[in-house]
């Protein structure tokens, strides 16, 4: 539910920017070429060469981040120009912290796998990114987003937003230099329609103003999984086709509970329409109503307020009225 882009989220804060557009990239297939792989981590944390090696090592430049699904796993690939980062580490974190400011960065998903690359950069001499946008959304069973948290003093940090905490393996490939993260994805999923604003239809005044895209979600938590994908925003290809996520100030959702055919969704953040006739409610409501057993949707602000909390009807907080 955001405007332009690429849960509850990790630690129940779903993410994204409030009324800002996030550009995200589509999943691209990554072949596990028969190149010798140097394991970096088979456990929840991984570290490579020591300080002396790090000090002498040349700097690697990140030139691409991509992800794809393979039988039983989702694979995220970080490709570098030049050598591999001198040190690589990975492990689950409770939140993603922005380097420098120390602020928490919203990440869609219920788990965040943190990654750190030393003696590596993701920008060129002018400061422009060498690998694409800082936030990438993917339509995969487990991997929802890849978000850059820092690129400072030859240290790159990322967070991978996952639908759940899952076993993973980190290893390296060469020619070209790549750090590969394989995340187990054995669960059965079903396709769920997630509704984003179709900016082209909206600008032309042609209803409906939303268009549904498919996301793989594991039962039985379809409502939660659908909202995770919604707050992650569209993929880069979907964004290029005019889809936008309108957040209306929401930073995510704290909870979604379905009782008696009514879905109760509590948002986080300073939710407000800003005078717009189209809000995050116009994305949440059709997304959830397409799910089995949901006929009405009541949306609450961060303080638990909505206009019609009782009864079988739709409801939004007063702040989301135009």
For 208-267, the pLDDT digits (tens) are 999 999 999 999 999 999 999 999 999 999 999 999 999 999 999 999 999 999 999 999
Confidence band, pLDDT 50/70/90 cuts, at residue 1: very low
The single-letter DSSP state of residue 174 is: T
Does residue 176 have a cis bond before it (omega within 30 degrees)? Answer: yes
Asked whether the predicted pLDDT for residue 21 surpasses 60, the reply is no
What pLDDT is recorded for position 124?
Answer: 94
Bridge partners, 246 (sequence order): none
What pLDDT is recorded for position 100?
Answer: 82
**209-242 burial: b if 16+ Cβ within 10 Å, else e:** bbbbbebbbbeeebbbbbbbbbbbbbbbebbeeb
Mean pLDDT over 3-29 rounds to 35
The average confidence (pLDDT) of the chain is 87
Q: Which domains does the chain have, with CATH numbers?
A: 23-184 (2.60.40.3500), 190-320 (no CATH)
Confidence band, pLDDT 50/70/90 cuts, at residue 92: very high
Joined tokens for residue 265: 């969704």
Q: What angle do CA 239, 300, 234 make, to 5 degrees?
A: 10
Confidence band, pLDDT 50/70/90 cuts, at residue 56: low
Bridge partners, 121 (sequence order): 61
Using CA atoms of 169, 116, 36, 34 in order, give the dihedral in degrees to the nearest 10.
Answer: 70
Q: What's the sign of the alpha-carbon dihedral 103, 248, 133, 173?
A: positive
Pairing of strands 296-300, 262-269: parallel
Percentages (nearest 5) of helix, strand, coil residues in the chain: 15, 40, 50
Asked whether the predicted pLDDT for residue 33 surpasses 70, the reply is no
Rounded CA separation 267/250 (Å): 6
The single-letter DSSP state of residue 241 is: T
Dump pLDDT digits (tens) for 176-208.
999 999 999 999 999 999 999 999 999 999 999
Where is average pLDDT lowest: 9-23, 159-173, 283-297? 9-23
Bridge partners, 65 (sequence order): 78
Rounded CA separation 120/123 (Å): 10
Dump pLDDT digits (tens) for 132-168.
999 999 999 999 999 999 999 999 999 999 999 999 9
Rounded CA separation 129/271 (Å): 31
Mean pLDDT over 307-311 rounds to 97
DSSP 89-137: EEEEESSEE-TTT-PEEP-SSSEEEEEEEESEESB-TTS-BSSS-SEEE
Asked whether the predicted pLDDT for residue 67 surpasses 80, the reply is yes
> By percentage, how much of the chain surpasses pLDDT 90?
81
What pLDDT is recorded for position 4?
Answer: 37
Q: How far is CA 70 from CA 21, 27, 310, in A?
A: 29, 11, 45
Mean pLDDT over 16-20 rounds to 33
């Amino acid at each position: 539910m955001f405007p332009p882009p690429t849960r509850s989220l990790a630690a129940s804060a779903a993410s994204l920017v409030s009324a800002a557009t996030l550009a995200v990239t589509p999943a691209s297939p990554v072949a596990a070429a028969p190149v010798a792989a140097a394991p970096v981590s088979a456990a929840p944390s991984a570290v490579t060469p020591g300080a002396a090696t790090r000090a002498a090592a040349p700097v690697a430049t990140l030139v691409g981040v991509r992800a794809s699904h393979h039988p039983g796993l989702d694979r995220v690939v970080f490709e570098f120009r030049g050598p591999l980062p001198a040190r690589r580490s990975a492990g689950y974190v409770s939140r993603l912290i922005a380097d420098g400011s120390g602020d928490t960065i919203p990440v869609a998903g219920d788990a965040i796998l943190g990654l750190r690359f030393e003696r590596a950069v993701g920008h060129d001499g002018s400061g422009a990114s060498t690998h694409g946008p800082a936030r990438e959304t993917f339509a995969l069973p487990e991997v929802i987003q890849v978000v850059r948290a820092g690129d400072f003093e030859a240290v790159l940090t990322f967070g991978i937003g996952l639908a759940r905490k899952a076993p993973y393996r980190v290893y390296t490939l060469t020619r070209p230099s790549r750090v590969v993260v394989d995340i187990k994805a054995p669960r059965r999923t079903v396709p769920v329609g997630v509704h984003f604003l179709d900016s082209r239809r909206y600008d032309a005044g042609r209803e409906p103003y939303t268009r549904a895209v498919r996301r793989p979600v594991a039962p039985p938590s379809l409502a939660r999984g659908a909202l995770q994908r919604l707050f992650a925003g569209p993929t880069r290809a979907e964004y290029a086709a005019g889809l936008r996520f309108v957040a209306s100030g929401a930073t995510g959702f704290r909870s979604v509970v379905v009782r008696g055919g009514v879905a109760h969704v509590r948002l986080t953040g300073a939710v407000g329409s800003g005078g717009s006739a189209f809000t995050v409610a116009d994305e949440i409501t059709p997304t959830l109503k397409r799910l089995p057993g949901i006929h009405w949707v009541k949306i609450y602000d961060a303080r638990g307020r909505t206009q019609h909390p009782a009864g079988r009807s739709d409801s939004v907080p007063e702040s989301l009225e135009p």
